[in-house]
Amino acid sequence: MTANPAICASNLAVRSGDLLQQLHESVPLVQVITNAVVTNWSANILLALGASPAMADVVGEAGVFARSANALLVNLGTPNPGQRDAIIEAVRARQEAGTTWVLDPVAVGALPVRTKLATELLADHPSVIRANTNEVLALAGSGQAARGVDATAPVSAAIGVADTLANHTGGVVAISGQSDYLTDGTDAVWVDNGDALLTQITGGGCALGAVVAAFVSLHDTTLLEASTAAHVCYGIAAEQAARHASGPGSFAVALLDALAGLHPAMVRDGARVRIGADECDA
């Protein structure tokens, strides 16, 4: 039995389809400040999804754009000094406009410059933090850093820490792993959609952060529900792509095609969502 009747698995499946429909109709403008490895990939993922990406990451423009964008993604994968300044400019500017924003703290804990920046950015209350287990642990000041950009600890190792972090930021924390764990500090959702090939292409997680940004820009939903929809849609597209793939190269191509062909009904039918408690009350 859940406190919030909307937070149940079958409802979330239906709502995920509805939100994809809403996204297709509204074509949200997503400001993408991301790392040098995944700029092209993230932009193509957003276009395939039906959103409108723009990488405005120059000082003097990042703040202007953040005021008019529907959502902002900040990914700390290659945070050169100019981009760090642009990130701060964008995050502060979006505050006045109330723009939702997503923080993807790539390799936080393992590398000092981004760790300091990410910690400071927590004060700006990211609407969603999308990260792997090690990054969530590091952001919360606990746990071992990974050696590289990939997680070494299971998602379950960070559940309590993620709940606490979500309560601290007032937003959602989404941990990517074999199953993804999403929490707003009160309610929590597991998303089982996805495919292991996502870990064999670069930006498999980074692009998910961009998709989350597109979804949390939508109206008449909650951050947890919209974040869940993002993970479900991306994961279903990955499952479809994996069926047509001969390896990571053809998988990435097929993932773009699958995202572009995704319909609300496919989302409702394909969603594999679990909640911490049992199914819907009704």
Binding site for a copy of itself (CB under 8 A): 29, 35-41, 43-44, 47-48, 52-61, 64-65, 68, 77-82, 107, 110-114, 147-150, 200-203, 245-250, 252-261
2: left (phi over 0), alpha (psi -120 to 50) or beta: beta
The C-alpha atoms of residue 11 and residue 8 are separated, in whole angstroms, by 5
Tokens 């993620």 identify what position? 162
- Least separation in angstroms between residue 207's CB and a copy of itself is 11
Query: Would strands 128-132 and 71-75 be described as parallel, antiparallel, or unpaired?
Result: unpaired
- Least separation in angstroms between residue 258's CB and a copy of itself is 7
77 or 126: CB nearest a copy of itself:
77
- Least separation in angstroms between residue 268's CB and a copy of itself is 21
**23 contact partners, CB below 8 Å, separation of at least 6:** 49, 50, 51, 214, 215, 218
81 or 219: CB nearest a copy of itself:
81
- Least separation in angstroms between residue 57's CB and a copy of itself is 6
- Least separation in angstroms between residue 30's CB and a copy of itself is 9
80 or 186: CB nearest a copy of itself:
80
User: Is 52 within 8 Å of 27 (Cβ atoms)?
Assistant: yes
The C-alpha atoms of residue 122 and residue 104 are separated, in whole angstroms, by 11
4 or 68: CB nearest a copy of itself:
68
